[in-house]
Amino acid sequence: MKRKFGKWKKIQLVTVVIAGLLLTGCSSRYAQEEEPDNVVSENVVITETGEVIEKPVLQEAPVRKTPSPTPAENRTKTPAAEHAQPTPVIDVDIPVQEQVITQEDQAEPHGYNLQLVFLGDSIFDNNRDGSGVPYLTAKQCEADVYNLAIGGTCASIEEFEESDLGKWTSTSLCGVVNAMLKRIPADIFSGTRAGELLSNPHIDYSQTDYFIVEYGTNDFFRGVRQSDEDGFNLRTYSGALRYSVINLRELAPDATIILCSPMYAQFYKDGYLIGDGNVTNNGNGTLADYVGTCNYIANEQNVIFFNAYQDLGIDSYSAEQYLEDGVHLTAEGRQMYADELAKIILDYEETKND
């Protein structure tokens, strides 16, 4: 009897609770979805045994508001931000080679049918002694060759350099192209072999058959951004390449342009290998990422792309054979590079004559 009475008491209690809840909530009952049989309200649950449980009410966590970014036009640049010179983002030893110049480095027209103009960094600028890539390429193509490469330079202009042509000081790819177009004076290249060639009145760059452009390794070392929302930002790698290709076409509309990607490289610190172009990130990507950007611009601008990173066959296994210091080419590496370029040019000449 006690067991039945206890069960009856629970049923009565449940009935009272339900009735009270129905009376207090009848005004809104039809606006709510039907609850499961064992749930009386959002905060009260009746179990299968008839036990009434009130759920604790959870307090909503306060919402943290993030301040809206300040519009770009309202931001103030500090003098340090405006004039700071970029430094290498990655802490590695950047190798420098001594330049050797002999009479094989052409400075006057020889009257060949083809004219090749090389623009680049130390990969083309070093070894102006008959063993460099430009000379070896021109020899196979039987061409006049003018080597406007400048060691240590980038495709992009640096953050502290003016982009106004009237105040121009950059010896980057963009600077060389502007000097060829006579937009800026050649004297800013004083002390370089490129400066001598740009000042030579006997060289007509508008008659160029092939521009061979090779940049990217120094852009990587300096942590230059690969791109941004401004497609012609000369302080980005892609913007500088795009700007230069378009202006080279203006200079010599019939010329063929070959964009050469950076080569595979290995990076050292205090004599110890710390990484290579596949894994070492400068803050804006690996060297292999810059290769992809170069390829993108070549496709976009419909110019020939030479993937020096892959097509030369230089990797972690062959680096010792083809690279002197992890970055610059050995004599065997330079010959291999020239062979590849000469093949591209001679093959292309054949298609033009068909």
Domains of the chain by residue range: 2-52, 95-353
Q: What is the pLDDT of residue 100?
A: 74
Which fold would CATH assign to domain 95-353? Rossmann fold (3.40.50)
Q: What is the pLDDT of residues 95-142, one digit of tens each?
A: 777 777 888 999 999 999 999 999 999 999 999 999 999 999 999 999
**Amino acid code (one letter) for 86:** P
Q: Are strands 52-54 and 114-120 parallel, antiparallel or unpaired?
A: unpaired
DSSP per-residue string spanning 124-171: HHS-BTTTSHHHHHHHHHTEEEEE---TT--SSPPTTS--SGGG----
Q: Does the pLDDT value for residue 219 go beyond 50?
A: yes
Return mean pLDDT, the chain: 81
Question: How far is the C-alpha of 275 from the C-alpha of 269, rounded, in Å?
Answer: 10
* Strands 210-214, 114-120: pairing kind: parallel
pLDDT tens per residue across span 73-97: 332 333 333 333 444 456 777 777 7
> Do residues 266 and 321 lie in contact, with contact meaning Cβ atoms separated by under 8 Å?
no
Query: Is the separation of the CB atoms in 152 and 218 below 8 Å?
Result: yes
State the pLDDT at residue 243: 98
Q: How confident is the model at residue 178 (pLDDT cuts 50, 70, 90)?
A: very high
Collapse the DSSP code of 113 into the 3-class scheme (helix H, G, I; strand E, B; otherwise coil) and give the result.
coil
List the single range of 49-58, 99-108, 319-328 with lowest mean pLDDT. Answer: 49-58
- pLDDT at 54 (0 to 100): 44
Residue 24: pLDDT over 50: no
**CA–CA gap between residue 23 and residue 131 (Å, rounded):** 99
Chain-centre distance for alpha carbon 17: 69
Q: Is the pLDDT of residue 193 over 60?
A: yes
Spatial separation of the C-alpha atoms in residues 125 and 211, rounded to whole Å: 15
Mean pLDDT, range 276-303, rounded to an integer: 97
Q: What is the pLDDT of residue 299?
A: 98
**Amino acid 90: pLDDT:** 64
Cβ neighbours for 252, distance < 8 A, ≥ 6 positions apart: 205, 206, 207, 208, 211
**Residues recorded for the chain:** 354
